[in-house]
Amino acid sequence: MSVRQKLQKSGLVLAALTQLMPAVAHAENWQKTGCAGVVEQDLKTLDLDDLEIRQVRYIVRSEGSVESGTTESLDGWVSFKNCKGNLVVILSQSCAVEERYTTGQCRIKDIPSY
């Protein structure tokens, strides 16, 4: 296999992988909605002192298919210093908090864990 063929093949694999991975978004730019700070404001309403927030990331989630079309939504993923897992904050199209849940070992009062 020539170098050119190897590069073309690896490029196709890379293109396929990037379609499967969620994109990290800049909240202020996502669909021009101005979602910046929504998750951070929501965190102020929760008792998180024991967990120590490490990082807040916004992830664009795509749902649907070619036949039905796709829709995008924005989720906030919060990681902590004192537990392995995340708090996931699902936002509506208008950037309102729709749902919250935790993953892994992280537990927050009154928030479901999966």
- Sheet containing strand 97-102, edge to edge, reads 23-25, 53-65, 69-80, 86-91, 97-102
Percent of the chain with pLDDT over 90: 47
Higher model confidence: residue 17 or residue 92? 92
Q: What's the pLDDT at 104?
A: 96
Q: What is the pTM of this model?
A: 0.71
